[in-house]
Amino acid sequence: MEGLIGFVALATLLYVILRWAAVSLAAHLARAAGHAVDLVAAGLLLPEYVCTSVMRRSSGRAAPFAHVYGDAVCGAALAAHACVEVAASTVRAVFGHLPHIAVVVVSVLTAATVTWLLGG
């Protein structure tokens, strides 16, 4: 009886997540991933900033590699942002157009598998 209740609860939860919450979650996760990319880029640019600041104070000029390194990091960050946006739009498109029967089948099969693996 407990296994059946767990199965029904899990299948219902998965249905709700896949049918209604996935599109909204994809948008929020894309925004969070964009912030994470910005944070990593800022962390990678920090040594360049420190090096450039020290060089400007000592010699009055920036380090010769500073602009190249900064451009490479910013280019990588822009590419990562583009990848995040493509992945998020794909998830929104796929989950936004799933028919109800497909969501029910996936939810029931996933819940059955999880319940079986957990020994319920």
Task: Look up the pTM and report it.
Answer: 0.68
pLDDT tens-digit profile of 61-101? 877 787 888 899 999 999 999 999 999 899 888 888 888 89
Q: How far is CA 4 from CA 1, 42, 116, in A?
A: 5, 50, 11
Give exposure, 82-115, as e/b (b: 16+ Cβ within 10 Å): eebeeebeebbeebeeeeeeebeeebbeebeeeb
Q: Measured on CA atoms in the order 73, 76, 78, 84, is the torsion positive or negative?
A: negative
pLDDT given for residue 91 in this prediction:
86
Here the tokens at position 28 are 């929020």
